[in-house]
A and B are shown apart, each in its own frame.
Chain A
Amino acid sequence: SQQGEEDPQALSIQEGENATMNCSYKTSINNLQWYRQNSGRGLVHLILIRSNEREKHSGRLRVTLDTSKKSSSLLITASRAADTASYFCATDAGTASKLTFGTGTRLQVTL
């Protein structure tokens, strides 16, 4: 079953703009992770935020986590055409070494 639901399903922005994607989940988690997938390729790990953290940065990425609302957001600042990809959140509930992936947000960055 898919615990995470991303919002929006698709997002189209112009280069230089910021992109914000949201993820909601249902059960308690140990950590939440964001992954990126270029079309027809495998997923690449972007960033991990632990359940006791509220915000984390990595380069142009900023992730927030609100465990009371069971939600997370991924902000990509100053987007580039190369950021065009699908982005997935994944939750680790700490059971049996599994991740549960969301449905993904397809981001299109145009010149």
Chain B
Amino acid sequence: SQTIHQWPATLVQPVGSPLSLECTVEGTSNPNLYWYRQAAGRGLQLLFYSVGIGQISSEVPQNLSASRPQDRQFILSSKKLLLSDSGFYLCAWSNGRSSYNEQFFGPGTRLTVL
């Protein structure tokens, strides 16, 4: 069976510090991978998605970047965090060979920038 991991679960960082959130998927190959951000009480905003190693599509211009160094690894980064980067970050995967794009989510990382 497939599983998706995200870490850390919670993170408190000062403004201007760097960020690295990691997401890994097990039990599948060549998944589509996604990073979302969710503000408190709101819907999901798609930040980045990837259909293959080294292929990253950015949805929203911002202070963040993403990388996919391995097939089942997706990393969200920032060189200098802003207060507005606070939120709940969710990683998800879908079967790249399926035409239905059902997505499976990780447990999320709650980031607070102070």
User: A residues engaging B (CB < 8 A)?
Assistant: 2, 4, 30-31, 33, 35, 40-45, 48, 50, 88, 90, 92, 96-104, 106
Q: Does B96 reach chain A (CB closer than 8 Å)?
A: yes
User: B residues engaging A (CB < 8 A)?
Assistant: 32, 36, 41-46, 49, 51, 57, 59, 88, 90, 92, 94, 96, 99-108, 110
- B94 to chain A: which residues have CB within 8 Å? 97
Q: Which 4 A-B pairs have the closest CB atoms?
A: A42-B105, A101-B44, A103-B43, A43-B105
- A100 to chain B: which residues have CB within 8 Å? 46
**When A and B form their complex, what is the total count of cross-chain residue pairs whose Cβ atoms lie within 8 Å?**
65
Asked if A99 contacts B103 (CB within 8 A), the reply is yes
CB distance from B88 to the nearest CB of A (A): 8
- In the bound complex, how far is the Cα of B110 from the Cα of A101, in angstroms? 19
Asked if B43 contacts A41 (CB within 8 A), the reply is no
